[in-house]
Amino acid sequence: MKKNEFFAQKKQFFVNDVAAVKDYVLTHCAQDQIDKIIARADEACAQSFRFDLRWDMEYTEIPVVFEKEINWLHQPADDPEWIFAFNRHHFWITMGQAYVLTGDEKYAEAFVKQCKSWICQINLRDPDCANACRTLETGIRMNLWIKAFCLFRNSPALTDGFCSLFEESIIEQEKFIMEVWNSTKIISNWGVLENHGLFTAALLMPEHPFSEEMRKEALRRLDLQLQRQVYPDGVHWEQSTMYHNEVAQDFLEVKILADRNGIALPSGYNERLAKMIDFCVEHRKLDGNEMAMGDSDDIDVRDIITKAAVSFNNPAWKAAGYPEFDFDCVFDLGAEAATAYASMPSIPSGKRSVIFPDSGHIFWHSDDSADQTWLHFTNGVHGGGHAHEDKLHVDLFYRGEDIVRDSGRLTYVDKPERYEFKGPKAHNVIELDDQPSIRCKRSWGYHKRSWSLNTQMSEAGSFRLAQGAALGYMDLETGSAVLSRKVVWLREDLILVHDEIYANPKDKHKIVQRWHFSPDAQVTLKGQTAGLTLNNSDCEVLTLAEQAEVRLTDTRLSLHYNTTTPSVMLETELNEAGFTSITTIFSLNPKGEKAPCFAVPAPVSLVSRQDRPFAKSVAEGWVIQKGADQFTVMIAHEDYMGPSDAVLVNERQGMGHVIVWAGLDKEQWGTTLAY
User: CA distances (Å), 57 to each of 53, 276, 412, in order?
Assistant: 9, 20, 12
Cα–Cα nearest to 281, from 349, 335, 218, 366: 349
Q: What is the pLDDT of residues 303-332, one digit of tens each?
A: 999 999 999 999 999 999 999 999 999 999
- Cβ proximity of 479 and 542 under 8 Å: no
Q: What is the pLDDT of residues 382-395, one digit of tens each?
A: 999 999 999 999 99
- Cβ proximity of 319 and 346 under 8 Å: yes
CATH number for domain 355-595, candidates 2.70.98.70, 3.40.50.740, 3.40.190.10, 1.20.1740.10? 2.70.98.70
SS3 103: coil
Q: Give me the percent of the chain exceeding a pLDDT of 90.
A: 96
Q: What is the pLDDT of residues 487-514, one digit of tens each?
A: 999 999 999 999 999 999 999 999 999 9
pLDDT at 644 over 80: no
SS3 154: coil
- Cβ proximity of 396 and 495 under 8 Å: yes
Cα–Cα nearest to 553, from 527, 577, 572, 539: 572
Which amino acid appears at position 649 of this protein? V
- Average pLDDT, integer, range 644-667: 94
CATH number for domain 1-190, candidates 1.50.10.100, 3.40.309.10, 1.10.10.10, 3.40.50.2300? 1.50.10.100
What's the CA gap between 320 and 324, in Å, rounded?
11
pLDDT at 186 over 90: yes
The partner residues of 525 in beta bridges, in order of sequence, read 530
- Cβ proximity of 451 and 470 under 8 Å: yes
Average pLDDT, the chain: 96
- Cβ proximity of 234 and 276 under 8 Å: yes
What's the CA gap between 295 and 411, in Å, rounded?
9
Cα–Cα nearest to 380, from 236, 585, 583, 226: 236
- Within 10 A of 66 (CB to CB), how many other CB atoms are there? 13
Q: Note the pLDDT of residue 59.
A: 86
pLDDT at 483 over 90: yes
Cα–Cα nearest to 311, from 266, 346, 261, 274: 274
Q: Note the pLDDT of residue 643.
A: 67
The partner residues of 453 in beta bridges, in order of sequence, read 469
Q: Which residues contact 374 (CB under 8 A, 6 or more apart)?
A: 285, 286, 363, 364, 365, 366, 396, 397, 398
Question: What is the helix (H) or strand (E) element at residue 612, kind and residue range?
Answer: none
Cα–Cα nearest to 346, from 315, 367, 322, 325: 315
> Predicted confidence band at 641 (pLDDT cuts at 50, 70, 90)?
confident
pLDDT at 238 over 80: yes
> Range with the lowest mean pLDDT among 208-212, 299-303, 484-488, 638-642?
638-642
Q: Note the pLDDT of residue 640.
A: 87
pLDDT at 58 over 90: no
Cα–Cα nearest to 110, from 162, 149, 157: 157
- Dihedral (CA of 538, 592, 496, 368) sign: negative
- Cβ proximity of 144 and 88 under 8 Å: yes
> Predicted confidence band at 255 (pLDDT cuts at 50, 70, 90)?
very high
Q: Where are the domains of the chain?
A: 1-190, 230-349, 355-595, 596-675
Question: What is the helix (H) or strand (E) element at residue 226, kind and residue range?
Answer: helix 211-229
- Average pLDDT, integer, range 548-556: 98
SS3 26: helix
> Predicted confidence band at 124 (pLDDT cuts at 50, 70, 90)?
very high
What's the CA gap between 510 and 578, in Å, rounded?
11
The predicted model scores a pTM of 0.96
Backbone φ, ψ for residue 144 (5° rounding): -70, -35
pLDDT at 609 over 80: yes
> Predicted confidence band at 78 (pLDDT cuts at 50, 70, 90)?
confident
Q: What is the pLDDT of residues 18-45, one digit of tens each?
A: 999 999 999 999 999 999 999 999 999 9
Backbone φ, ψ for residue 499 (5° rounding): -105, 135
- Average pLDDT, integer, range 504-526: 97
User: CA distances (Å), 188 to each of 80, 223, 247, 297, 489, in order?
Assistant: 20, 13, 10, 20, 37
- Average pLDDT, integer, range 411-423: 96
What's the CA gap between 489 and 462, in Å, rounded?
8
What's the CA gap between 11 and 559, in Å, rounded?
40
